[in-house]
A and B are shown apart, each in its own frame.
Chain A
């Protein structure tokens, strides 16, 4: 396999949309920024009766590439990297295919920018508590301190590892500095462990919830309990194996192979594939359709609450 053309694949041509690093790119970056800011200012002047229209069109445009990519004929058996579209329809198909990647990242980028909105809320609440010395204000100080420490050490650690450690020396702990230790202690030592602890706590809640809820009170409760019990018994390999062996013996003695169907795991499999799968599929189908309908309403700006 000739690797050369693939390497060349990395040499991306410049186009209007993308520029090689250098003064031209920085000029365009400033231009892009100014364009964005200008757009925002222009939008702030939009009269109030047009505002709904503005938001709806932003929403519509954002969703359009996906819908277009779905409906527009996808070039058959195409290698989007190396081939040239044969006609206009295919050109659009090629363009849409290659637009998926940059469009897909926009959600992440914008959500990243939005993060500060959340942190504003968090910090405001806890700063107010500290300022007014409300109940538990000491804990708010703890929270804010941990926040600053984790963010500070975390970013510094990232910076050191990404830009100052070309040889990967920091993958070995002997070379760590204080920052690396601090980051490791806060993240691995505390954060991750608390994450697991909180998660594993659910086991306790399952126990108390099952104990309280699984009572033979109504047909529904009984049916749910029975189905759960069968599945739980099925998880105990030792038990299913013992019961299976007993059934085997019985079947051997009576020469009736049909009895084999009464093994717990056979029955649990049957229950799962014959009743659980269709039931869940029915639920999820409804939910999927609901999501499609809601997506459609949001996309077309029909939802009264929604974005408008």
Chain B
């Protein structure tokens, strides 16, 4: 007989992590479903940076200069996809005013994706002839070559507005200050908290952290996105609640006495650790029940000798496994 939960990740309180992940997943999926069914009362608060987008495009139109968009330099992942999706909305507005658009990519895969999405936007607007090879372009996938290329473009084309949304690293400030030098309006947002302060210092409007993900829900009001956002909020409130309860529980527990301390996956008697000077001490954070929820206690006797397996006659190779 085997136990279904006899897995390394389920031992002791290990299941809590899996459970928490599943709870978050469930709350997101549940709310997406709820929104799809047409729950009308789903509210999203105003996100300041996004209202500036139309002003920025308007200004570019007046000045007859292009709008620059950079989806960060990350590889093709949800962040880049999210950025390109926001840019699709921006392109839609820009296309209506016939304002030229430059979307510069630092990853070939992101380029392939953006090419597809942005071309669709122009096709929808019936403006296929305005979709040029320069509209979406791959500049370089080396970080600073990309920065040099885009800076040169900002200067030469004198862009009127820049949208820097996505995964940015050190090059963030190069783009932001260069755009500032040519007097462009800038809306920026990065999931990298390390770059956000530079955007705050150099740009006109900044999406902070999570606002970046909330942005497309706010702009499109697509039920899937709105529902997902609500689900995320539920998860956040849940986590905040857990932290509050945990803080109180931990605090209360730490006023109690104990005669053994937990050190990693062993329990050490106080008398031993103090050299016999004391037999009881106040509980430390690691000794509490709250800690155990987050750090499963798996002493050796739980694993050792309980799981003996036969050895392979000839050890199999490292790259065993398949597609």
A–B direct contact (CB < 8 Å): yes
The reply on A305 being an interface residue by CB < 8 A is yes
User: With A76-B8, A121-B133, A294-B78 in contact, do A209 and B322 touch (Cβ < 8 Å)?
Assistant: no
Asked if A118 and B224 make an inter-chain contact with CB atoms under 8 angstroms apart, the answer reads no
Interface size on A, residues (CB 8 A): 90
The residues of A that contact B177 with a CB separation of less than 8 Å are 205, 208-209
CA separation between A212 and B203, bound complex, in Å?
11
How many Å from the CB of A73 to the closest CB on chain B?
Answer: 3
The reply on B48 being an interface residue by CB < 8 A is no
Q: Which of B91-99, B190-198, B252-260 contacts A (4 or more CB under 8 A)?
A: B190-198
Interface size on B, residues (CB 8 A): 98
The reply on A158 being an interface residue by CB < 8 A is no
Residue of B nearest to A83 (CB): B309
The reply on B90 being an interface residue by CB < 8 A is no
Asked if B307 and A78 make an inter-chain contact with CB atoms under 8 angstroms apart, the answer reads yes
User: With A101-B321, A305-B81 in contact, do A114 and B109 touch (Cβ < 8 Å)?
Assistant: yes
How many Å from the CB of A277 to the closest CB on chain B?
Answer: 11
How many Å from the CB of B139 to the closest CB on chain A?
Answer: 7
The residues of B that contact A116 with a CB separation of less than 8 Å are 108
The residues of A that contact B319 with a CB separation of less than 8 Å are 12, 18, 101-102
The contact string, 1 if C-beta is below 8 Å from chain A, for chain B 194-210, is 00111011100000111
The reply on B222 being an interface residue by CB < 8 A is yes
The reply on A246 being an interface residue by CB < 8 A is no
User: With A77-B304, A102-B321, A306-B81 in contact, do A119 and B315 touch (Cβ < 8 Å)?
Assistant: no
- For B133, give its contact among A82, A125, A280 (CB under 8 Å): A125
Q: Which of A168-176, A194-202, A263-271 contacts B (4 or more CB under 8 A)?
A: A194-202
Asked if A93 and B312 make an inter-chain contact with CB atoms under 8 angstroms apart, the answer reads no
Q: Which of A2-10, A40-48, A178-186, A234-242 contacts B (4 or more CB under 8 A)?
A: A2-10
Asked if A122 and B137 make an inter-chain contact with CB atoms under 8 angstroms apart, the answer reads yes
Asked if B307 and A290 make an inter-chain contact with CB atoms under 8 angstroms apart, the answer reads no
Residue of A nearest to B5 (CB): A73
The reply on B41 being an interface residue by CB < 8 A is no
The reply on A206 being an interface residue by CB < 8 A is yes
Residue of A nearest to B113 (CB): A307
Q: Which of A23-31, A159-167, A296-304 contacts B (4 or more CB under 8 A)?
A: A296-304
CA separation between A106 and B109, bound complex, in Å?
14
Residues of B290-316 at the interface with A, using a CB-CB cut-off of 8 Å, are 303-304, 306-307, 309-312, 314-316
Asked if A293 and B209 make an inter-chain contact with CB atoms under 8 angstroms apart, the answer reads no
Main secondary structure of the interface of B (DSSP, over half): helix
Asked if B201 and A122 make an inter-chain contact with CB atoms under 8 angstroms apart, the answer reads no
The residues of A that contact B137 with a CB separation of less than 8 Å are 121-122, 125
CA separation between A209 and B196, bound complex, in Å?
13
User: With A75-B7, A83-B312, A125-B134 in contact, do A213 and B318 touch (Cβ < 8 Å)?
Assistant: no
The reply on B144 being an interface residue by CB < 8 A is yes
Asked if A304 and B28 make an inter-chain contact with CB atoms under 8 angstroms apart, the answer reads no
Asked if A213 and B170 make an inter-chain contact with CB atoms under 8 angstroms apart, the answer reads no
Asked if A74 and B7 make an inter-chain contact with CB atoms under 8 angstroms apart, the answer reads yes
How many Å from the CB of A159 to the closest CB on chain B?
Answer: 22
How many Å from the CB of A33 to the closest CB on chain B?
Answer: 15
The reply on A131 being an interface residue by CB < 8 A is no
The reply on B279 being an interface residue by CB < 8 A is no
CA separation between A71 and B9, bound complex, in Å?
8
The reply on A58 being an interface residue by CB < 8 A is no
The reply on B245 being an interface residue by CB < 8 A is no
The reply on B67 being an interface residue by CB < 8 A is no
The residues of B that contact A82 with a CB separation of less than 8 Å are 311-312, 315-316
Residue of A nearest to B233 (CB): A289
Asked if B133 and A124 make an inter-chain contact with CB atoms under 8 angstroms apart, the answer reads yes
The residues of A that contact B143 with a CB separation of less than 8 Å are 195
How many Å from the CB of B104 to the closest CB on chain A?
Answer: 10
CA separation between A115 and B213, bound complex, in Å?
27
How many Å from the CB of B237 to the closest CB on chain A?
Answer: 11
The reply on A283 being an interface residue by CB < 8 A is yes
The contact string, 1 if C-beta is below 8 Å from chain A, for chain B 1-44, is 01011111111000000100100110011001000000000000
User: With A209-B198, A214-B201, A224-B197 in contact, do A17 and B323 touch (Cβ < 8 Å)?
Assistant: yes
How many Å from the CB of B2 to the closest CB on chain A?
Answer: 5
User: With A74-B8, A283-B210 in contact, do A12 and B309 touch (Cβ < 8 Å)?
Assistant: no
Asked if B8 and A291 make an inter-chain contact with CB atoms under 8 angstroms apart, the answer reads no
Asked if A12 and B75 make an inter-chain contact with CB atoms under 8 angstroms apart, the answer reads no
- For B105, give its contact among A72, A118, A206, A295 (CB under 8 Å): A118
The residues of A that contact B171 with a CB separation of less than 8 Å are 202
Asked if B310 and A83 make an inter-chain contact with CB atoms under 8 angstroms apart, the answer reads yes
Asked if B209 and A11 make an inter-chain contact with CB atoms under 8 angstroms apart, the answer reads no
The contact string, 1 if C-beta is below 8 Å from chain A, for chain B 105-121, is 10111011001010000
The residues of B that contact A38 with a CB separation of less than 8 Å are none
The reply on B232 being an interface residue by CB < 8 A is yes
The contact string, 1 if C-beta is below 8 Å from chain B, for chain A 97-120, is 111111100000011001111110
Q: List 19 A-B contacts (CB under 8 A).
A: A13-B314, A73-B5, A74-B8, A76-B7, A84-B312, A86-B2, A98-B321, A99-B322, A103-B323, A110-B109, A114-B108, A115-B108, A117-B115, A118-B141, A121-B115, A136-B156, A286-B213, A293-B28, A296-B228
Nearest 10 CB-CB pairings of A with B: A73-B7, A12-B317, A118-B108, A98-B321, A286-B210, A290-B213, A118-B138, A294-B78, A198-B144, A213-B201
A-B contact sample (20 more), CB < 8 A, given A97-B321, A290-B214, A294-B81: A15-B320, A18-B322, A73-B10, A74-B8, A75-B307, A82-B316, A89-B2, A99-B321, A111-B107, A116-B108, A118-B111, A122-B140, A125-B133, A136-B156, A198-B147, A202-B171, A209-B198, A212-B201, A213-B202, A305-B85
